[in-house]
């Protein structure tokens, strides 16, 4: 029997409807419209598409978005000066610097320059540290989206064995922290596998949930997956013929897994939806409606 689909597109649409109502309430009761400032350096085609999709998502739920374009030759001091000005602008609640940056720009320095309370990507060391301490505030969008996707599908994480392939600060590490948090949508036993892991396939075969964020096209094959397991595919790659695939070999894995997220239409839409959620949360934090702990989006 083919795996059931973890439909990120439909789930993201439902989350956006909820967010639109919450944004409307914020505007009516507090006369505050959440605002996301996006910074795009250079003319990378993929980055332009990502920023456009994020801005369209903002408009769909009533979040104001502004775009700052800088040439690829921009030097670090000019970029940091722009971030400083956005940090000081009280009408801006969230700051998104689209990654990757052009060669020669220090991404770590740029991320650390963003005010943590406006860090809607959730990459600032302060926000990562709060997550590690069990007090999540603004959490990286892809991990947060995966958690909501699992919850909306009715997939329990408490007591489950979860293997995550990939240890990046954008997905793997924060996701491991998030799913092992004490409480709802957490309490999992998480193994974080990486390039030095011996026999990752054997680890995956013991898992109730496998989350592939390794950055390798179709790495995960059917013999990696225990029958009935949940498989979340975070990767997205373009084949030589122009078609898309993920980190999972979907045709074979779909015949073994109980659930499988598609590529595209799985994790990607959830990432954008969580960016909108984080922008709303950042606005609430900045006007004093929240005390710093992250809410449960899409409950």
Instruction: From the candidates 54, 115, 185, 247, give the one annotated as an active-site residue.
Output: 54
Local structure of 190: helix, strand or coil: strand
Query: 238 burial class (0-12, 13-18, 19+ CB within 10 angstroms)?
Result: exposed
- 276 phi/psi in degrees, rounded to 5: -65, -45
Q: How far is 161 from 227, CA to CA, in rounded Å?
A: 14
Among positive and negative, which fits the CA dihedral 19, 23, 26, 29? negative
Q: With contact defined as beta carbons under 8 Å apart, do 134 and 292 qualify? A: no
98 is catalytic: yes
Q: With contact defined as beta carbons under 8 Å apart, do 64 and 26 qualify? A: no
CA atoms within 13 Å, Cβ hemisphere of 238 = 4
Q: How far is 81 from 88, CA to CA, in rounded Å?
A: 11
Q: With contact defined as beta carbons under 8 Å apart, do 173 and 284 qualify? A: no
Instruction: From the candidates 7, 98, 118, 119, give the one annotated as an active-site residue.
Output: 98
Instruction: From the candidates 7, 115, 119, 121, give the one annotated as an active-site residue.
Output: 121
Using alpha carbons, list the distances in angstroms from residue 43 to 51, 96, 242.
11, 16, 21
Query: 230 burial class (0-12, 13-18, 19+ CB within 10 angstroms)?
Result: buried
54 is catalytic: yes
The residues that are catalytic are 54, 98, 121
């Amino acid at each position: 029997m083919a795996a059931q689909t973890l439909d990120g597109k439909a789930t993201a649409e439902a989350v956006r409807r909820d967010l639109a109502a919450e944004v409307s309430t914020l505007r009516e009761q507090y006369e505050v419209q959440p605002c996301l400032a996006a910074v795009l350096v250079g003319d990378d085609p993929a980055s332009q598409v990502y920023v456009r999709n994020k801005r369209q998502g903002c408009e769909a739920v009533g979040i104001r978005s502004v775009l700052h374009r800088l040439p690829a030759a921009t030097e670090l001091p000019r970029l940091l000066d722009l971030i400083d000005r956005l940090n000081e602008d009280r009408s801006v609640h969230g700051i998104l610097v689209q990654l990757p940056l052009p060669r020669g720009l220090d991404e770590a320095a740029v991320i650390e320059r963003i005010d943590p309370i406006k860090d809607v990507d959730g990459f600032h060391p302060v926000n990562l540290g709060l997550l590690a301490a069990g007090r999540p505030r603004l959490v990286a969008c892809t991990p947060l989206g995966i958690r909501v996707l699992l919850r909306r599908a009715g997939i329990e994480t408490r007591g489950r064995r979860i293997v995550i392939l990939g240890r990046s600060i954008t997905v793997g590490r924060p996701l491991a922290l998030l799913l092992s948090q004490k409480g709802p949508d957490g309490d999992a036993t998480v193994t974080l596998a990486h390039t030095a892991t011996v026999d990752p396939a054997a680890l995956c075969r013991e898992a109730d949930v496998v989350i592939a964020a390794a950055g390798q096209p179709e790495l995960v094959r059917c013999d990696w997956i225990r029958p009935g397991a949940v498989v979340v595919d975070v990767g997205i790659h373009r084949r030589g013929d122009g078609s898309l695939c993920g980190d999972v070999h979907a045709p074979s894995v779909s015949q073994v897994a109980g659930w499988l997220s598609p590529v595209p239409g799985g994790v990607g839409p959830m990432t954008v939806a969580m960016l909108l959620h984080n922008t709303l949360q950042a606005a609430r934090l900045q006007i004093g409606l929240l005390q710093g702990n992250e809410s449960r989006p899409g409950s």
